[in-house]
Amino acid sequence: MLLRGTGALAEAARTRRALPGFVAYNLETVQALVSAAERTDRPVLLQAGASAFRHAGRDLLAQLAVSAAAASTAEIGVHLDHSRDLDEITTCIEAGYTSVMIDGSHLSFSDNIALTRTAVRRAHDAGVWVEAELGAIAGNEDVSTDAEAGAMTDPRQAAEFVAATGVDALAVAVGNVHGFTDRPVALDLDRLAAIHEVTPVPLVLHGASGLPAEQLLGALDRGVAKVNVNAELRRAYLQSVADQLPTALAGADVVSTWSAARSAVADAAVRTINLLTAERRKTNA
């Protein structure tokens, strides 16, 4: 069933867990993520976003994601990730998306506020919640690169930004980057705690793939209630295809290759769901 509203996000924040946001590119990854949600019986977000549209086409991928989520026995929201286009946001809302992300992080602070405020107004009028981004999250959303952390989110600006825009969730830059890196990524958990202290909305962590579990759980203790995962799923998909190819090529067997890749993505997503939604003990963090 379609997961609407911010209830699951608020519950994740209250219990120091996180709503997983999984990026989908095609039929197999959509099916894998739906399967993972059903296997774990946990709410998830299926992120059929702006970058994936370049591969699959916006209308086809949007229709696929919304239809698959609506037909599932699990609670699955459909989220537009990293959109910079207000018309695209409107189209996806009309297609049945339950949440959208407006990414004005490349703009000046004032222009980011103006763009986000417009997106919030459009989305809220349709009962859709909005994520925005403040700070520079480096790296490529679709290709793992050895990215360096960009400009970090300023807590005082974060408080002003949330108050000025009415956004429902805020993606922050605290040392996180998109994709895997050769060198370990270290989150600035003190900065994250400071942002959490002055902002009333759940925080979002992009670039969670490859983070040590203690860093990830430390972020959950400091206000992060939505975590985006992409690179780990891509790696699982591609590794499975590579493993299948020697046998598959002999018989030109694409079906078994796609099936194995779908299972590998589902298994990777299940591991992430279990980590992010496990019951947490109280800490002093």
Structural domain boundaries, residue 119: 7-277
Cβ neighbour number for residue 65 with a 10 Å cutoff:
29
The answer to whether position 112 is within a domain reads: yes
The answer to whether position 2 is within a domain reads: no
The answer to whether position 284 is within a domain reads: no
The answer to whether position 282 is within a domain reads: no
CATH, residue 129: 3.20.20.70
Q: How far apart are CA 64 and CA 23, in angstroms?
A: 13
The answer to whether position 247 is within a domain reads: yes
pLDDT at 175: 85
Residue 276 has pLDDT above 90, yes or no: yes
Q: Active-site residue 190, yes or no?
A: no
- How far CA 78 is from CA of 65, 147, 205, 234, in Å, comes to 7, 28, 17, 19
pLDDT at 53: 93
- How far CA 86 is from CA of 50, 98, 164, 169, 285, in Å, comes to 12, 16, 18, 18, 38
* CB burial string 75-95: b at 16+ within 10 A, e below: bbbbbbbbbbeeebbebbbeb
Mean pLDDT of the chain: 90
- 205-257 pLDDT tens trace: 998 777 888 889 999 999 999 999 998 999 999 999 999 999 988 888 899 99
Could you tell me if 169 and 131 are in contact, meaning their C-beta atoms sit under 8 angstroms apart? yes
Nearest to 232 by CA among 265, 254, 194, 274: 265
The answer to whether position 241 is within a domain reads: yes
Could you tell me if 9 and 20 are in contact, meaning their C-beta atoms sit under 8 angstroms apart? no
Could you tell me if 197 and 145 are in contact, meaning their C-beta atoms sit under 8 angstroms apart? no
Nearest to 126 by CA among 74, 80, 57: 80
Cβ neighbour number for residue 148 with a 10 Å cutoff:
12
- Sequence-distant (6+) residues with CB within 8 A of 40 are 270, 273, 274, 277
The answer to whether position 266 is within a domain reads: yes
pLDDT band at 140 (very low <50, low <70, confident <90, very high): very low
pLDDT at 148: 47
Residue 174 has pLDDT above 70, yes or no: yes
pLDDT at 182: 54
- 77-102 pLDDT tens trace: 999 999 999 999 999 999 999 999 99
3-state secondary structure of 177: strand
- 35-50 pLDDT tens trace: 999 999 999 999 998 8
Tell me how many domains the chain contains.
1
Residue 144 has pLDDT above 90, yes or no: no
> For the CA atoms of the chain, what is the radius of gyration?
18
Phi, psi torsion values for 119, nearest 5 degrees: -65, -40
Select which of 41, 59, 81, 142 is catalytic.
81
Share of the chain above pLDDT 90, in %: 76
Q: How far apart are CA 279 and CA 3, in angstroms?
A: 21
Q: How far apart are CA 99 and CA 276, in angstroms?
A: 20
Q: How far apart are CA 171 and CA 127, in angstroms?
A: 20
- Sequence-distant (6+) residues with CB within 8 A of 166 are 117, 120, 124
Dihedral over alpha carbons 159, 15, 30, 68 (to 10 degrees): -100
The answer to whether position 184 is within a domain reads: yes
